[in-house]
Structure 1
């Protein structure tokens, strides 16, 4: 619950900041939890920020990397109330936003003894140096 509240505050401040300044910002969302409701809320907030002008960059690590799998577990593909949307479905909607980037962390696939063929189309593998640059970018807002 604390994580959800923190994500809400961060996304809210991004939206308010972008709306006030009229500037496009980058929102870097890092999702690590296996909890589907928290995963979905991270996607909801990221999508809302994208609709309000932010460029989304989502990094999926640990159990959250399962959202990016072609053969994903039911926990990430089952629709949730109140809109009957799954974390994976909303993530794919985010991917269609201008400039959007969704990646699994560099350790995810080796940890599963898998390669990028198991990932959905459009999902990449983060390069640590580039990801660090995205996190440090002057226009970036972070959401964990």
Structure 2
């Protein structure tokens, strides 16, 4: 996790915390995160509780969600958007307590997904220049 008080000063950053197990909430969080990333925001995504499953290699949502008419994608799955965000440089972590409280291990996570340490996340949450969005 990058230090939000050092070399990233002045950089447009956001912390998105996703905990919901709702398919539509997960989808909207990923769609909005994608829009922020496309607008130049350096994204930090923290996946906790049921949302941590999105970062598991073999995970697949039960169904796709329909996108709004303004989005030509048609149907998407939250984990698909998450993979795209990762490929485009988003910093994605599962909560520190996700793995010890699930059947997954670090090897089960998508490449590039880490396990968040509470200290750096708390620093970001306290930094007034980094907005925090929670879903």
Question: Which bracket does the TM-score occupy, shorter chain normalised?
Answer: 0.7 to 0.9
2:61–2:77 contact (8 Å) kept in structure 1: no
- What is the TM-score with the length of structure 1 in the denominator? 0.76
* RMSD (Å), alpha carbons: 1.5
* CA distance in 1 between partners of 2:61 and 2:29 (Å): 18
User: 8 Å contact 1:102–1:123 — kept in the other structure?
Assistant: yes
Which structure has greater helix proportion?
Answer: 1
Residue matched to 1:7: none
Number of residue equivalences: 119
Are 2:19 and 1:28 equivalent residues in the alignment?
no
**Is 1:90 equivalent to 2:81 in the alignment?**
yes
CA contact (8 A) 2:60 2:79 kept: no
Unmatched 5+ stretches in structure 2: 1-9, 68-73
2-structure distance, mates of 1:53, 1:74: 28
Name the counterpart of 1:120. 110
Which consecutive aligned stretches of 4+ in structure 1 deviate over 3 angstroms post-superposition? Answer: none
Query: What stretches of structure 1 of length at least 5 have no aligned partner?
Result: 1-22
**Displacement of 1:97 after TM fit?**
2.6
With the length of structure 2 as denominator, give the TM-score of the two structures.
0.81
- Higher relative contact order, structure no. (Cα contacts within 8 Å, ≥ 6 residues apart): 2
On the 8 A contact 1:28/1:141 being kept in 2, the answer is: yes
SS at match of 1:74: coil
- CA contact under 8 A between 1:24 and 1:53: conserved in structure 2? no
